[in-house]
């Protein structure tokens, strides 16, 4: 059922922790969705299965798929990828910079906050003239936000 | 007839030509930048289309979509790094040709083949959409439910990678589609008291997050170094008569393959390009030249990936069922304009429908013009630093998300979806089924419940309606085929191990 997943003979037989965690999260989310769907009311008109019917069926479907996913992971259908999340700290930093910028929006305003975040994100990358590039990116983004979004599209920037 | 004249009036108006040119330029830049593609481009573009008429917004999107398919070949030829997945096959012979100092020839073949593919795909759309739409008008709610389900299962099965992950993605998308006021009884569902969720999870927030933000995060992680262009010079891109004679058959076969595969839900340019290349190679007198810079090794895949644009729009216009993430985004844009894509659109909005039908052909011609004139600039954009691209995508994503409803809630939601999309990519979960399920959720649920109301709760309606039975069987087949393939592969592997 794993489609194009590597065959067990090719795959690293060690069970990938990330897949197991993902499977467990899918299972927990399916159960939670199923429980929430059961709380929805029944249909009123004749033949109407009600607002909870499809969510209930989706929950059961997701539960079956989650169990199949966990089963396939335990059988070794998915290859363990060494260092899959090893470089994720830079990705996390990029996201973190934007999260902090959004938190600072009430004080800085959206245009300035994302311009600063863009400049800081550019600094995360190696290369020549990093500072110049960061400043140019920040100024460019600020101009786009103000001229294009605020003035041309009429977006009321916070 | 009025619809045709009015649509041509829109296309050839000053604003129509302007959006076609802007779409072509943006599409080529976005297509040429490795990692980005038409889906990301369209998701970042949607906020700009709010204030436009539906016709102009569709023309802009079609132009970007078409040109991004071609743009992917620029970096494939110059850097051996396909800008889009659909240009992966082009990289083999395109880069080999560029290495021989024939980058100009390679790009001229790619641009011409893309234009031919786009025009032929557009003609196919023009011929097929209307008869199919007339047929689809006969479908009842049970039939429509099954058509929606088929669109979803086939994309989940063919989106690439594991079937179970594709199905889980579809389940997640359907679950997200149920958030908000339910379409029949008006009961709020899964809103957790947040008024922002009463209209449902904003499709655009999910779209920008899953496609654009996740890609920006991935770019930050990879920090790949780009190879310099070196002595590669690019100038004119007009195809010589000799190359025309050599490649026209591959362009035709690629166009037919691309159109047919584009119509199938879940099969896009990324599969069509390989099928077209293999077909051209099998019919070529010199198959040994493939991989060493064969002109037909560029012409066939490039014609096919652009022909998928017209093909992919056939089910969207005729049935209201998108077969790819890109057409799902276009459907989302139409919904945001208060329109419901499907066969009824032909009678309700003829100007819009004809603008789309003719737009694909005209956009392909505009792509040729823009591609010919701006190639030297395009060739430089492939070297744009990744830090600037990542920061730019994040900034545009935040601004675009805020533009949806002027709510910071949507911005936070977009970042959340971005994180989800990033984790999904790391674990090889396809994001296309999530987006498709979100778009199809309304169609599936409303028709499912309407069918049951009309049958007074009898589920047999889904097995007595012939259209419903046909598409339910097709849904089952779309799921069973990858299961059988995986089972056979496993059996073959265990035999070879023994």
**Domain-by-domain residue ranges, chain B?**
2-140+189-427
pLDDT band at A6 (very low <50, low <70, confident <90, very high): very low
Q: Which ipTM score applies to this complex? A: 0.88
Tokens at B173, concatenated? 């998308």
CA-nearest residue to B218 within chain A is A91
The DSSP 8-state label assigned to residue B87 in this structure reads: G
The DSSP 8-state label assigned to residue B238 in this structure reads: P
* CB burial readout A38-58, b (16+ within 10 A) else e: eebeebeeebbbbbbbbbbeb
Tokens at B359, concatenated? 């737009």
Kindly report, residue by residue over B323-369, the tens digit of the pLDDT. Answer: 788 888 888 888 888 888 888 888 888 899 999 999 999 999 999 99
A27 at the B interface (CB within 8 A)? no
Q: Does the structure show a pLDDT above 50 at A11?
A: no
What is the rounded CA–CA span in Å between residue B381 and residue B27? Answer: 12
Residue B345 has what pLDDT? Answer: 86
Is A105 in Cβ contact with B415 (below 8 Å)?
Answer: no
Kindly report, residue by residue over B388-411, the tens digit of the pLDDT. Answer: 888 988 998 899 889 888 899 999
Of B47, B51, B390, the CB nearest to A121: B390
Lowest mean pLDDT among B86-95, B156-165, B254-263, B452-461: B156-165
CA-nearest residue to A67 within chain B is B164
A112 at the B interface (CB within 8 A)? no
What is the rounded CA–CA span in Å between residue B86 and residue B31? Answer: 10
Please say whether the beta carbons of B277 and B295 come within 8 A.
no
What is the rounded CA–CA span in Å between residue B308 and residue B273? Answer: 10
**Averaged pLDDT of chain B:** 87
Please say whether the beta carbons of A73 and A88 come within 8 A.
no
Mutation site for B-interface testing, chosen from A18, A44, A91, A158 by largest number of B Cβ within 10 Å: A91
Kindly report, residue by residue over A83-124, the tens digit of the pLDDT. Answer: 666 667 888 888 999 999 999 999 999 999 999 999 999 988
Cβ contacts of A70 on chain B, cutoff 8 Å: none
């Amino acid at each position: 059922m794993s489609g194009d997943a590597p065959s067990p003979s090719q795959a690293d037989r060690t069970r990938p922790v990330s897949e197991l965690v993902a499977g467990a999260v899918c299972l927990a989310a399916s159960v939670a969705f199923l429980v929430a769907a059961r709380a929805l009311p029944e249909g009123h008109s004749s033949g109407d299965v009600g607002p909870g019917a499809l969510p209930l069926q989706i929950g059961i479907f997701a539960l079956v798929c989650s169990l199949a996913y966990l089963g396939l992971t335990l059988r070794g259908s998915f290859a363990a990828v060494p260092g899959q999340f090893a470089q994720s700290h830079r990705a996390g930093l990029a996201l973190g910079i934007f999260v902090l910028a959004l938190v600072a929006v009430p004080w800085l305003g959206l245009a300035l906050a994302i311009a600063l975040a863009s400049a800081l994100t550019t600094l995360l990358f190696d290369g020549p003239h990093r500072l110049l590039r960061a400043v140019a990116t920040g100024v460019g983004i600020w101009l786009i936000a103000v001229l294009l979004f605020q003035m041309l599209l009429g977006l009321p920037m916070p | 007839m009025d619809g045709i004249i009015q649509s041509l009036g829109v296309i050839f108006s000053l604003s129509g030509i302007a959006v076609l040119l802007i779409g072509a330029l943006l599409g080529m830049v976005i297509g040429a930048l490795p990692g980005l593609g038409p889906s990301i481009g369209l998701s970042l573009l949607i906020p700009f289309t709010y204030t436009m008429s539906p016709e102009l917004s569709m023309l802009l999107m079609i132009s970007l979509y078409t040109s991004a398919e071609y743009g992917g070949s620029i970096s494939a030829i110059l850097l051996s790094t396909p800008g889009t997945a659909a240009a992966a096959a082009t990289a083999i012979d395109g880069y080999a040709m560029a290495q021989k100092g024939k980058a100009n020839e390679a790009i001229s073949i790619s641009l011409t083949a893309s234009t031919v593919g786009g025009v032929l795909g557009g003609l196919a759309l023009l011929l097929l959409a209307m008869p199919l739409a007339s047929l689809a008008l006969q479908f009842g709610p049970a039939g429509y439910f099954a058509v929606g389900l088929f669109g979803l299962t086939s994309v989940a099965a063919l989106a690439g990678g594991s079937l179970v992950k594709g199905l889980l993605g579809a389940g997640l998308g359907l679950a997200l589609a149920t958030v908000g006021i339910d379409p029949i009884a008006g009961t709020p569902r899964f809103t957790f008291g947040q008024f922002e969720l009463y209209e449902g999870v904003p499709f655009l927030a999910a779209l920008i997050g899953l496609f654009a933000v996740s890609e920006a995060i991935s770019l930050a992680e990879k920090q790949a170094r780009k190879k310099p262009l070196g002595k590669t010079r690019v100038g004119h891109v007009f195809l010589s008569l000799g190359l025309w004679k050599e490649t026209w058959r591959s362009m035709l076969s690629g166009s037919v393959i691309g159109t047919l595969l584009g119509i199938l839900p879940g099969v896009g340019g990324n599969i069509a390009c390989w099928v077209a290349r293999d077909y051209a190679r099998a019919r070529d007198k010199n198959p040994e030249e493939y991989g060493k810079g064969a002109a037909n090794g560029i012409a066939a895949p490039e014609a096919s990936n652009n022909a998928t644009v017209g093909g992919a729009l056939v089910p969207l216009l005729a049935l209201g069922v998108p077969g790819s993430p890109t057409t799902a985004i276009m459907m989302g844009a139409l919904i945001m304009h208060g329109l419901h894509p499907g066969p009824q659109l032909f009678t309700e909005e003829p100007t819009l429908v004809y603008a789309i039908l003719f737009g694909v052909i005209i956009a392909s011609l505009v792509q040729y013009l823009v591609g010919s004139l701006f190639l030297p600039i395009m060739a430089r954009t492939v070297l744009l630093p990744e830090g600037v691209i990542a920061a730019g995508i994040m900034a545009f994503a935040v601004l675009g998300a805020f533009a949806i409803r002027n709510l910071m809630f949507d911005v936070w939601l977009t970042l959340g979806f971005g994180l989800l999309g990033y984790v999904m990519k790391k674990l090889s979960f396809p994001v296309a089924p999530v987006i498709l399920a979100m778009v199809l959720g309304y169609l599936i649920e409303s028709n499912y419940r309407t069918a049951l109301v009309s049958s007074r709760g009898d589920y047999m309606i889904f097995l007595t309606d012939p259209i419903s039975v046909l598409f339910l069987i097709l849904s089952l087949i779309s799921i069973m085929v990858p299961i059988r393939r995986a089972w056979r592969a496993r059996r073959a592997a265990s035999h070879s191990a023994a």
